[in-house]
Amino acid sequence: MSKEISAPLLRTARLLDLVPYLNTHQGIELKELAQHFEVTPAQMRADLTTLWMCGLPGYTHLELMNLDFESGFVSIGNASTLSKPRAITFQECVALLLGLDLITSLLPENRQDLLTVAESLRQRLTKILDVPIKLSVVSPTKGAISLAIADAIGSNSGLQIRYHSMYKDQVSERSVMPLEIYESNGHHYLRAYCFTSLDYREFRVDRIDEALPTSVSSDFQSSNRTTEKIAFALKILESSRNVTERFAIAQSTVGTSLELSSFSRQWIERSVMASGRSVELVTPVDIRVEIATKAHALLKRYKEVNF
């Protein structure tokens, strides 16, 4: 495997396997049980002690596992009770539906067999729960795109993406080297080096229409995989909820000066212009000049229009 599984995960998997195994091997010797699961007797004793505190909902002495292993032989006294099917509660069924919906969203489109099974299970759970509508926790991001990005980051490879930029209001094809995924204000963003722009860029994942593996330039070295944000300073001229939300600040008190940063020059320009008279961009000067030039051009066009 590409990643080494940690000891806690191995132990959790072993504990899950222990219960059905013991149910069919009552009275097995502790040493033999340890050998079967390839652990030491001391580790097996620790695992059995952990299982002692597990059982069915209620978790009183009546529902916990009745394990006996002090004599050196292991058995479960209430195995027949534990093996009986249990009716799930409303809350448990809702959790299952939401979990199934999330798993389904991550399945690739070519696994129609798994999608069919998942849909069948969803319908059965919905019937049990008596819910007329489908519960969903799925983000607008396609599962195939999320998997492609994760694979590219894990294998240090490139992607060819089709991206809808809201700042430029256009769809473009880009060759990128994904660096990381992060979440901000309820959205997931891909930070990557863009070979099309020859610079670092950020892409909102739900606006990526397609992501395909591609080869990247051999000149791109891992030592270059650092991102530099553009620092900018704002002055609040009018208190506005839009300004607070757009720049992700705690409050917009008139006269306050803010030191912020962004990876996108276009985002700074458009955000400042969209805020109107509520903010003033103090620095950088070159972006300030660019905004002023665009604002004058817009005013000139308005004057030229005959209503």
Quick one: 217 and 169 in the same domain?
A: yes
Q: Does residue 185 fall inside a structural domain?
A: yes
Q: What is the CATH number of the domain that holds 54?
A: 1.10.10
Whole-angstrom CA distances from 78 to 9, 61, 112, 281 are: 27, 11, 41, 71
Q: What range does the domain containing 209 cover?
A: 156-223
Mean pLDDT of 27-37: 91
User: Is residue 204 domain-shared with residue 234, that is, in the same domain?
Assistant: no
Q: What is the pLDDT of residues 125-138, one digit of tens each?
A: 777 777 655 666 55
Residues 247 and 206 in one domain: no
Domain endpoint, select from 82, 102, 117: 82
Residue 137 lies in a domain: no
Q: Does some domain include residue 140?
A: no
Residues 67 and 97 in one domain: no
CA 4 – CA 95 distance, rounded (Å): 29
Contacts of 254 (CB under 8 A, 6+ apart): 236, 237, 238, 239
Task: Answer yes or no: is pLDDT of 205 > 50.
Answer: yes
134: in domain: no
With a cut of 80, say whether residue 37 has pLDDT above it.
yes
Same domain (yes/no): 52, 69: yes
Average pLDDT along the chain:
77
Does some domain include residue 169? yes
H or E element that contains 181: strand 170-184
Identify the domain boundary among 223, 252, 280: 223
* Identity of residue 205: V
Does residue 163 share a domain with residue 125?
A: no
pLDDT at residue 93, as a whole number? 76
pLDDT, greater one: 22 or 225: 22
Q: Could you report the per-residue pLDDT of 249-271, keeping only the tens digit for each?
A: 777 788 888 888 876 777 788 88
Per residue in 38-84, pLDDT (tens digit) is 899 989 898 888 887 776 666 666 667 778 888 889 888 776 666 56
Confidence of residue 36 (pLDDT cuts 50, 70, 90): very high
Alpha helices by DSSP H, listed for 52-197, are 79-82, 90-106, 112-129, 143-155
DSSP-derived letter for residue 89 is P
229-255 mean pLDDT:
81
Q: Decide: helix, strand or coil at residue 242.
A: helix
Q: Are the C-beta atoms of residues 175 and 211 closer than 8 Å to each other?
A: no
Tell me, yes or no, whether 63 and 125 share the same domain.
no
Claim to verify: residue 198 and residue 183 sit in the same structural domain: yes
Is 62 contained in some domain? yes
The pLDDT of residue 3 is 41
Determine which helix (DSSP H) or strand (DSSP E) holds 28, and give its type and residue range.
Answer: strand 28-29
Look at residues 21, 43, 23 and name the one whose alpha carbon lies nearest to residue 31: 43
Q: Ranked by mean pLDDT, which of 3-17, 57-71, 286-300 comes out on top?
A: 286-300
Is the C-alpha dihedral spanning 145, 148, 152, 154 positive or negative? positive
- For residues 38 and 78, membership in a common domain is answered with yes
Tell me 57's DSSP state: T
Is residue 15 classed exposed, middle or buried when 0-12, 13-18 and 19+ CB atoms within 10 A define those classes?
middle
Residue 188 inside a domain? The answer is yes
Domain-embedded: residue 150 = no
Q: Considering its fold, how many domains does the chain have in total?
A: 4
Clarify whether residues 210 and 265 are in a common domain.
no
- pLDDT tens digit string along 78-109? 766 665 656 677 777 777 777 777 777 767 66
129 phi, psi to nearest 5 deg: -75, -20
User: Same structural domain for residues 277 and 300?
Assistant: yes
Q: Above 50 in pLDDT, residue 2?
A: no
* Cβ atoms of 186 and 165 closer than 8 Å: no
Of 179, 206, 223, the last residue of a domain is: 223
Residues with Cβ within 8 Å of 280's Cβ and at least 6 positions away in sequence, in order, are 234, 235, 237
The contacts of residue 54 (CB under 8 Å, 6+ apart) are: 15, 64, 65
**Inter-CA distances, 50 with 26, 43, 96, 228, Å:** 18, 11, 25, 48
Task: Verify that 105 and 163 share a domain, yes or no.
Answer: no
Structure tokens at 203: 């892409």
Q: Which of 38, 40, 42, 3 is nearest to 17 (CA)?
A: 38
Provide the terminal-to-terminal Cα distance of the chain, rounded to the nearest Å. 68
145-199 pLDDT tens trace: 878 888 888 788 888 888 887 666 678 888 888 887 877 766 788 888 888 777 7
